[in-house]
Amino acid sequence: MLTVFTPSFADEANTNAQNLTAKEVVSRLPSDRFRVVLLGAGKPDPRILARENTEILKWTPHGNTPRWLTRVLCSKIDIYFFPREGPLDTLFMFIRRSLGLPIALVAYVVVALDGGVGPRMARYIREADLVFGNSRFVSQTVQDRFGSVAGTIYDGVNRGLFHPPRESRPGASKLTVLYAGSFQARKRAHVVIAEAAKWPSVEFRLAGKGEEEDKCRSLANELGCSNVSFLGHLTQEGLAEEMRRADVFLFPSILEGHPQVLGQAASCGLPAVAMDVYRPNYVVNGETGYLVRSEGEISHSLGVLLSDRDLRLKMSAAAGRHALQFDWDRVALDWENAFVEAVTKRRKTH
């Protein structure tokens, strides 16, 4: 049996993208082949709580790093998965390097490195036994930056939760455009508001929270957008329901790795308009939606989708088929194989 540690939180309410990924992977690893150690600050995800051979290291107000590190080293772990840039990871890497520990390091890069990389992450990538990106573009930026080959394992989609509506979207109903993501400057939620002003007969719904929300609310008032609704933070269940009720997913963010919401939207049969700059594999340009390069192209592509019902339905069906390859059960198998390969490689060199 292999023991995997990840500095990720098992909390049910934690919707950070990296923690969501770790929870989905951990919950699917066979408990007869993998023992898992991870962190916890609140109520655990029920799937992880029910999983055998799983240990959750509790967060306390003080002294977490030395306590966690001691426990991790005493657990005789085989794999350190998905290192971050915190003190726990830094200390672990120092001890691993100094003592030559036979612990395999598996790095998962979730943001393109064409814009630079911090010294800690650079060290993790250089010293990892295996490195993976969460899209082909992210993996290519790792290779371009470090000269080493990085595999690709996508963030998956829980298709039991994110699936198309049971009945076809009604053709005569009011059209709905959905945005989901944090309200940060790089996400450019204000672009969604600007589009809402051009389509007063279409409902625009924005899910998420963040420091730019007040500015977006002010812009909506300034433009007289009575067709805009701010939904706040949604659970995964709530987001899935919103996606099934929508007709188009609009995601104008310009700085991403491989945003899971695009995969979730595709799995719900929702055609998307997103930016091409980070080349998301969740969207096939011209088949399941549009990948664009400017705000002008956003307006044009959104207009095409809103004006052509047959095209929306065609792209909706194509998006659902395309999303099949991102099913979490398939992705988890890729991680199982990666963990075994990393341990084998590490042991051969020690």
DSSP string, 26-55: HHHS-TTTEEEEEEESSSBPHHHHT-SSEE
| Beta carbons of 188 and 254 less than 8 angstroms apart | yes
Span 132-159, pLDDT tens digits: 999 999 999 999 999 888 999 999 999 9
**Hey, what are 152's tokens?**
């690709």
**pLDDT score at 183:** 94
> DSSP of 289-309, one letter per residue?
EEEESSHHHHHHHHHHHHH-H
Whose CA is closest to 29, among 338, 236, 343, 345?
Answer: 338
Per-residue confidence at 72, pLDDT binned at 50, 70, 90?
very high
Alpha-carbon distances of 145 from 35, 85, 169, 172, 288, rounded to whole Å: 34, 18, 45, 51, 31
User: What per-residue confidence (pLDDT) applies to 112?
Assistant: 86
The pLDDT, as a whole number, for residue 172 is 55
Residue ranges of domains in the chain: 2-156+327-349, 176-325
Beta strand spans in 211-265 (E): 228-232, 248-251
Asked if pLDDT for residue 241 goes beyond 70, the answer is yes
Is 260:20 a contact under the CB 8 Å cutoff? yes
Give tens-digit pLDDT for 20-44: 899 999 999 999 999 999 999 999 9
Stretch 122-126: mean pLDDT = 92
> Does residue 18 register a pLDDT over 90?
no
Asked if 2-156+327-349 and 176-325 have one fold, the answer is yes
State yes or no: pLDDT of 109 exceeds 80: yes
One-letter amino acid identity for 188?
R
pLDDT band at 170 (very low <50, low <70, confident <90, very high): low
Q: At what angle do helices 260-267 and 236-245 cross, to 10 degrees?
A: 50
Pairing of strands 2-9, 79-81: parallel
Beta bridge partners of 188: none
Burial class (CB in 10 A: 0-12, 13-18, 19+), 146: middle
Give whole-number Cα distances, 226 to 25, 217, 230, 252, in Å: 41, 11, 11, 21
pLDDT at 249 over 60: yes
Report yes or no: 314 and 72 within 8 Å, Cβ to Cβ.
no
Report field, pTM of the whole predicted structure over 0.75: yes
Q: What is the mean pLDDT of the chain?
A: 94
Reading the block at residue 335, the tokens are 């991680």
What CATH code is assigned to 176-325?
A: 3.40.50.2000
High-pLDDT (> 90) share of the chain, %: 87
Strands 248-251 and 228-232 turn out to be unpaired
User: Which of the four pLDDT bands, split at 50, 70 and 90, describes residue 114?
Assistant: confident
- Percentage of the chain lying above the pLDDT 70 cut: 99
Per CATH, the architecture of 2-156+327-349 is what? 3-Layer(aba) Sandwich (3.40)
CA-based nearest residue to 269, from 307, 315, 214: 315
Q: Which pLDDT belongs to residue 169? A: 66
Average pLDDT over residues 209-218: 94
Give the residues across from 248 on adjacent strands. Answer: 177
For position 333, what pLDDT does the model report?
97
Is residue 26 within 8 A of residue 36, CB to CB? The reply is yes
Predicted local distance difference test score (pLDDT) of residue 253: 94
